[in-house]
Structure 1
Amino acid sequence: MLYIFDLGNVIIDIDFGRVLGVWSDYTRVPLANLQKSFVPGEAFERHERGEISDEDFAAALCQELALPLSYEQFAAGWQAVFVGLRPEVIEIMHNLRAQGNRVVVLSNTNRLHTTFWPDQYPEIYAAADRVWLSQDMGMRKPEARIFQKVLEEEGFSAADTLFFDDNAENIRGAEACGIASVLVVDKSTIPGYFAASAALR
């Protein structure tokens, strides 16, 4: 069986409010203004596909939000998104592998974030057989091709795969490819799913 785990708010808690808070502190732009105007758009998606550089992404977002930030200030805020690991999910991933399953991570992320979280949270790479990152693949969830690529490379059919993600659009994308999927709504979703599965055995 192939188990695919998203990263943000599945394995690691993330909070974009923290990002906006740092940028607000640097610029004195009111946080409420940033919260209203921050919407992941075209630059965000292109950055996640690796189509634009970190510097170009920072410039585009600063222009969109009217933020007078240096690149260093932008990056400091961007890395503040990470809150902490969900150790219970890391443990489940290890247990699944010990049972002979294949466990991978599939994340919409970006080059700038990957200069931070792999070193900050080495437990993730230790718990996964492989980590698939959108900016390395040139594609992002919920595009069908990214799921098809992972299935092809991992050598599993959609019928033998289970996907966990906190984004309903990504869930729909995976299900359209025939992959059974679980929407992660909070920290209890994944432990609860496997507890229920064990109870049914």
Structure 2
Amino acid sequence: MATVKLIVFDLGRVLVRICDDWHHAAEVAGLSGQFPEADPISRAVMGELSVLCEIGAINHAMFCRRVAHLFNVPTAHVEKISEAYLLCPYDGAAALIDDLRRAGVRTAALSNTNSRHWELMTASPSPIAELLQKLDHRITSFQAGLRKPDAQIFAHVERLAGATGAQILFFDDVLDNVAAAQTQGWDAVLVTNRDDPVSQIRTALGESGIL
């Protein structure tokens, strides 16, 4: 069995608490009821725009303008809702990374995110920024021009971090991403506990003999 040299974490719903969906974000932004229900076609188009934004093909401002046009709402509303999506680190997330560092294990974030969300997450001082600063590597889809579950982004992490295959343990809340990481030879765990993912992660690390 290969020794784990690197533990890679998704951010949203793994280390960082985010809104449940767009309507939850609207509530957080103080715009409850201001965003219409999406029909299947509009939802698909919005998903495509999100992907383009997350790989850096369009910037966040363009994403907001296009979504506003799609749903016939003010661009400022879309911007405010999007920026409300990020909440805070999960309880115990920072302590988890500290414990892994003391155990001599390197850590990384691998996140499908856009430039504006990353700007908000890394703005200091903030609890999310402080958490991210503890990690050895921070890899984002918009900077790489790739996003999970594309196999190339997992290879990108390997080149950047100098670890490969079973030397890497990965935690993500999306099944397709976990499956893609496993295809790359990584040991990958699906995070299913949205209330307390850190406890699930600690259990898995204990079972692996890492913590």
Give the structure-1-normalised TM-score. 0.87
Report the CA distance between 1:91 and its aligned residue.
Answer: 1.3
The separation in 2 between residues aligned to 1:46 and 1:89, in whole angstroms, is: 29
Q: Does 1:69 align with 2:78?
A: no
Letter in 1 for 2:72: L
**Distance (whole Å) between structure 1 residues aligned to residue 121 and residue 69 of structure 2:** 26
> 2:43, 2:202 → 1: CA distance?
32
1:53-92 correspondence runs (5 A): 53-64=59-70, 66-70=71-75, 72-92=76-96
* Residues 16-53 of structure 1, C-alpha deviations (whole Å, 9 max, x = no match): 242243678377345xx249754552211110000101
Contact 2:31 / 2:77 at 8 angstroms: preserved in 1? no
Cα pair 1:3 1:163 within 8 Å, conserved: yes
Query: Gaps (5+ residues) in structure 2?
Result: none
Question: Any conservation in 2 of the 1:27–1:69 contact (CA below 8 Å)?
Answer: no
Tell whether the 8 Å contact from 1:106 to 1:131 is kept in structure 2 after alignment. Answer: yes
Question: 129-138 vs 86-95, which deviates more?
Answer: 86-95
Identity %: 28
Structure 1 outlier segments of 4+, above 6 Å: none
> Where does residue 190 of structure 1 map in the other structure?
201
Q: Report how many aligned residue pairs link the two structures.
A: 196
Unaligned runs of 5+ in 1: none
TM norm structure 2: 0.83
> Equivalent residues in 2 for 1:57-136 (5 A)?
57-64=63-70, 66-70=71-75, 72-119=76-123, 120=126, 121-136=128-143
- In the other structure, the counterpart of 1:153 is 160
- AA matched with 1:58: C
Q: Does 1:21 align with 2:32?
A: no
- Partner residue of 2:12? 8
**Partner SS, residue 41 of structure 1:** helix
Q: Per residue, is there more helix in 1 or in 2?
A: 1
Q: CA deviation at 1:104?
A: 0.5
